Amino acid sequence: AQKVTQAQTEISVVEKEDVTLDCVYETRDTTYYLFWYKQPPSGELVFLIRRNSFDEQNEISGRYSWNFQKSTSSFNFTITASQVVDSAVYFCALRSHPGHNQGGKLIFGQGTELSVKP
Amino acid sequence: EAQVTQNPRYLITVTGKKLTVTCSQNMNHEYMSWYRQDPGLGLRQIYYSMNVEVTDKGDVPEGYKVSRKEKRNFPLILESPSPNQTSLYFCASTPRGDRGVYEQYFGPGTRLTVT
């Protein structure tokens, strides 16, 4: 069975602190894709990043960075120098290889609500 | 502009009154899905469609129907809504996947309240 676990339900930090959001996944597929989405208070889902299972390079995009480790089945997300505008719910998600994926189905974690206080 | 649109964005209705939430995409995507989002549960797939006239159940299909008569449209139908269908609903589309693109494009969401 496929599963994504975001153990942190809520995180509260003060502006300029660094914060890491954890994501652990389970899958038997050898080829899969991992995603992070941001959901601001307005409710829409904003795509942040996609990672292929065969590419373990970490990625940095401005204040955002992602650490993908197949050995521990984790795909953690770090925000450096957090800002109030980073306050949102963040979702980690898993998608199987297209050959057997129920129309591109994403398996979502429960979400982590990040609150950044000024 | 490439997008997925949903209507209505907000809806308050009463138990048993049939309703339809429309979804349309302009990217010629083969795959479309409906998800519902509930606190503590993340998003769960309700139904999906691999192409026109091809639909199947996702993880939580009870109480819902869908149709895919045209490639761009994928309406979600609640024949007899009940309070446990109060939720935030997202429509999504994605290419078939054999072109190296795997992102799901999400609509803006429909917040449904059933009283």
Q: Name every residue whose Cβ is closer than 8 Å to that of residue B62 and which is 6 or more positions away in sequence.
A: none
Nearest Cβ partner of B48 from A43, A97, A102? Answer: A102
Segment holding A71, helix H or strand E: none
C-beta separation of A100 from B93 below 8 A: no
Q: Distance between CA atoms of B115 and B110, rounded to whole angstroms?
A: 16
- pLDDT bin (cut points 50, 70, 90) of residue B21 is very high
Measured between CA atoms, how close is B60 to chain A, in angstroms? 13
Nearest to A50 by CA among B9, B100, B48: B100
Nearest to B65 by CA among B74, B49, B76, B54: B76
Strand residue runs (E) in B8-109: 10-13, 19-25, 31-38, 42-51, 54-57, 65-66, 76-78, 87-94, 105-106
C-beta separation of B69 from B53 below 8 A: yes
Nearest to B112 by CA among B33, B15, B24: B15
Is A31 or A4 the better-scoring residue by pLDDT? A4
Share of chain B above pLDDT 70, in %: 95
Measured between CA atoms, how close is A73 to chain B, in angstroms? 19
Q: Distance between CA atoms of A44 and B44, rounded to whole angstroms?
A: 16
Report the pLDDT value the prediction gives residue A59, as an integer from 0 to 100: 87
Cβ of A98 within 8 Å of Cβ of B102? The answer is: yes
Nearest Cβ partner of B49 from A4, A43, A103? Answer: A103
pLDDT value at A99 more than 70: no
The arithmetic mean of pLDDT across residues B24-53, rounded, is: 94
Cβ of A102 within 8 Å of Cβ of B56? The answer is: yes
A68-97 per-position pLDDT tens digit: 999 999 999 999 999 999 999 999 999 877
User: Token digits for B90?
Assistant: 């997202």
A32-61 per-position pLDDT tens digit: 899 999 999 999 999 999 898 988 888 888
C-beta separation of B76 from B21 below 8 A: yes
